[in-house]
Structure 1
Amino acid sequence: MIVTKTVKLCETFSSIQGESSYAGYPCFFIRLTGCNLRCSYCDTEYAYAEGEEVEVTELLKKARESGLSLVEITGGEPLIQEGAFELVTRLSDSGFQVLVETNGSVDITRLDPRAVAVLDVKTPGSGMSEKMDFRNLYRLRPNDEVKFVITSKDDFLWSVEMVNRYSLPQKRVLFSPAKGYIEPKQLAEWILKERLSVRLNLQLHKFIFGDKRGV
């Protein structure tokens, strides 16, 4: 007997991808419920518990109906749900380019190699740095990306140290200013001063749509 996996779903929506090297592309988002961390700057607290069980096959149908080829699975932390791994594989089998935004606390080796992991390295300013599984930085595949959300100059310096310690310049590295903590201009100036080979990562969707949910 085939058992169809389910996931606890918070929401789905189509929007412009706002982050990563895929920023600017139309994207279908699947936001799963639940998170094992509580970051100081979290902007999706509603995803901690809100949602309902949905079959993976139903989400495949929704992705196809979106008419888009790029799909992001996010949360919360999607990888704390067993069904998320099957969802990634089934979407990849169906020809979608899949991005998985993960907080770095869960082993990424089980992720389908066709997917792109966007690994959010928790800086000290997040309050969750000690929850990181830093071994994930050695598990990155060639197309994976690494994101640092930066709240202060101390976070910036810590992030630069991590980039060097784990030889991350060879990867796609994103430095993102935490909204309400530092301005994009300030982070840009620090990046330029240090001559860093990183991408300034802004939440493009918020410039377009504001802080609305589901965009």
Structure 2
Amino acid sequence: MNVIEIFSSIEGEGTRQGYLCTFVRLYGCNLRCSYCDTPYSYEGGEYTVIDVKEVAETVRAIGNKYVTITGGEPLLQESQVIELIKLLGEDYEFNIETNGSVIPTYRAENIFYTVDYKCPTSNEETKMKEEAFLNLHKNDVVKFVVGSIEDLQRTYEFIKTHDIQAHIYLSPSYQEITAREIVEFMKDNNMQDVRVQLQIHKYIWDVNERGV
């Protein structure tokens, strides 16, 4: 696997927010979002090629039962990701964070997907694959990262016109829109069964700090 870092922290967002979690960050991404907060995940070639068995040993040594596989775009290394999940087995619960341009296919009882929808301010909305959002399960998560009222309007339209079975979160793009603006939009548009979230790791550590 092309690995940038493996570390223990807390899950900063989503359904496991606040829980201890081991992160496996993989190198490489097929998108270039305007607000990307991990450009080191695809720039500069600063990664280490590590055997999947060694990655599994590192995860076991850390000892957290929750594991998040992220990037970059981890599904660019899907076969290795599946191998890692099978090696670690049922003692772990896996969250695979993917960017909406790749359709998740692998399923197991102990994994769920967090799928980002890239709104207009990302400059990558045209890369979104509808099927990636329509084949999700009730334990999966769809995250709309919003940076403007236009993004919120696009989110509202998408939710209204698609049958999304997963949890739905609205997350403000850092310092581009306030959580208050998002909440007011939700109230004005009666957005039931949608949750606003803040990335709490950015309030605990410096926003540019790695390994957190």
TM-score range, shorter chain: over 0.9
Partner of 2:210: 213
Equivalence for 2:129: 133
Letter in 2 for 1:13: F
Instruction: For 2:148 and 2:104, locate their aligned partners in 1 and report how far apart those are by CA, in whole Å.
Output: 28
Distance in structure 1 (CA, Å) of the matches to 2:66 and 2:187: 31
Q: Which runs of 5+ in 2 are unaligned?
A: none
Question: What's the counterpart of residue 3 of structure 1?
Answer: none
Contact 1:89 1:112 in 2 (8 A): no
Match of 1:97 in 2: 93
8 A contact 2:146–2:172 mirrored in 1:
yes
Task: Tell me the alpha carbon deviations over residues 90-110 of structure 1, each in whole angstroms, 9 at most, x when there is no partner.
Answer: 33x141010000001112013
Which of residues 16, 23, 26 is equivalent to 2:10? Answer: 16
Matching residue's letter, 1:116: F
Shift of 1:115: 0.7
Q: Which residue of 1 aligns with 2:55?
A: 59
CA RMSD in angstroms comes to 1.3
Structure 2 counterpart of 1:39, one-letter code? C
Alignment of 1:48-197 (within 5 A): 48=42, 49-81=45-77, 82-91=79-88, 93-168=89-164, 170-196=165-191, 197=193
1:90 & 1:153 partners in 2: Cα distance? 44
Q: Secondary structure at the match of 2:171?
A: strand
Alpha carbons of structure 1 residues 32 and 72: separation in structure 2 relative to 1, 3 Å:
same
1:114-156, Cα deviation, whole Å (9 max, x unpaired): 3110000111111111111111112112211100000110110
- Please report the TM-score for the alignment, with normalisation by the length of structure 1: 0.92
TM-score normalised by the chain length of structure 2:
0.93
For residues 52 and 184 of structure 2, the distance between their equivalents in structure 1, rounded to whole angstroms, comes to 44
Q: Count the aligned residue pairs.
A: 207
Residues 89/120 of structure 1: CA separation in 2 closer, same or farther (3 Å cut): farther
Aligned to 2:103, the other structure's residue is in SS state coil
Any stretches of 5+ residues in structure 1 without a counterpart?
1-6
3-state DSSP of counterpart to 1:84: helix
Distance 1:89 1:125, change over 3 A: farther
Residue 14 of structure 2 aligns with an amino acid whose one-letter code is S
Query: 1:12·1:30 contact (CA, 8 Å) conserved in 2?
Result: yes
